[in-house]
Structures are given as structure tokens and as C-alpha cells.
């Protein structure tokens, strides 16, 4: 299957769609999920036309993994969570809803359940507040 350059993450990378960015370098971009499963739900995407983890250039994947590690620590600190989860889905059968490789970073707390994935848009002012908390931890 050919990469769909009109997916929302490709549009974000090209600056054609807005995003609440928390981190960016030459290989990857991290931003708030607009339909979060929990406060602090952050996405990391490679700057590569890859639909799944099997399609990405290995060097870019390695650099993107470093971003996941860095941003994951910042999310954990910003939301005072005892842990965080990293999820990565490949293909619609696995639950992937945007056909661009992406990693979900979600703070975890004992006894606190997630909301359903990709169901409800969050308040944009709240997302900007959450993004600022993470950017503060990164600085």
C-alpha cells in the first residue's frame, strides 16, 4: 500500500494542520493528541513517509525512539505520574487510525483507566496548557 500523503500527521508535518507541539528536531515531532485517552497523552511521529514501523528508515526510527524516550520522561515529570505507557500500532487490524507511524505516550497511575481511543476532542485551551507543562520539563 502506498503512503497517503494527505493523512493528518503528514499535514501537520507540512504545517498545513495545527498541532500543540512539545518537541521537534530534524527527525521527529512530538505533539498533544487532540483526542486524548488521558491528560498528557502525547504523540511522537517520525519525519518520514512511513505508515508502519516496518516502513520507516531505521536511522530515523532510532532517532524517533530517542525522542520517545526524552518526551516520555518529560510527560512523566509534567504529570507527576509514577509511570508512563508507550503504545505503537501497525495497521488498521491493530487499531491504527492514522496511516503514519506514531507512538503514543500516556502517563499511568494505578487505578486510573483510559478513555476510549479517538472518540472525543479535548478542549484546545487545556491541550495548550498540557503542552506547556511538557515543554517546561524539556527546557
CA 14 to chain centroid? 16
Does the active-site annotation cover 102?
Answer: yes
Residue in 134, 6, 4, 2 with CA at minimum distance from that of residue 70: 134
Active-site residue identified among 41, 100, 102, 130: 102
CA distance 31 to 58: 22
The string of DSSP letters for 22-61 reads EEE-SSEEEEE-SS-SSTT-EEEEESS--SSTTTS-HHHH
**DSSP 3-state assignment of 63?**
helix
Q: Write out the H or E segment, with its range, that includes residue 86.
A: strand 83-87
Catalytic residue numbers?
A: 102
Amino acid at each position: 500500500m502506498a503512503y497517503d500523503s494527505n493523512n493528518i500527521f503528514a499535514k501537520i508535518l507540512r504545517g498545513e494542520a495545527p498541532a500543540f507541539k512539545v518537541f521537534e528536531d530534524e527527525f521527529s515531532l512530538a505533539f498533544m493528541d487532540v483526542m486524548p485517552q488521558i491528560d498528557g497523552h502525547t504523540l511522537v511521529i517520525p519525519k518520514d513517509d512511513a505508515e508502519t514501523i516496518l516502513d520507516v528508515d531505521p536511522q530515523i526510527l532510532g532517532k524517533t525512539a530517542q525522542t520517545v524516550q526524552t518526551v516520555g520522561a518529560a510527560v512523566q515529570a509534567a504529570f507527576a505520574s509514577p509511570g508512563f505507557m508507550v503504545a505503537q500500532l501497525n495497521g488498521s487490524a491493530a487499531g491504527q487510525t492514522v496511516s503514519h507511524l506514531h507512538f503514543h505516550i500516556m502517563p499511568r497511575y494505578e487505578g486510573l483507566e483510559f478513555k476510549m481511543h479517538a472518540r472525543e476532542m479535548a478542549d484546545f485551551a487545556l491541550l495548550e496548557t498540557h503542552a506547556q507543562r511538557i515543554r517546561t520539563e524539556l527546557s
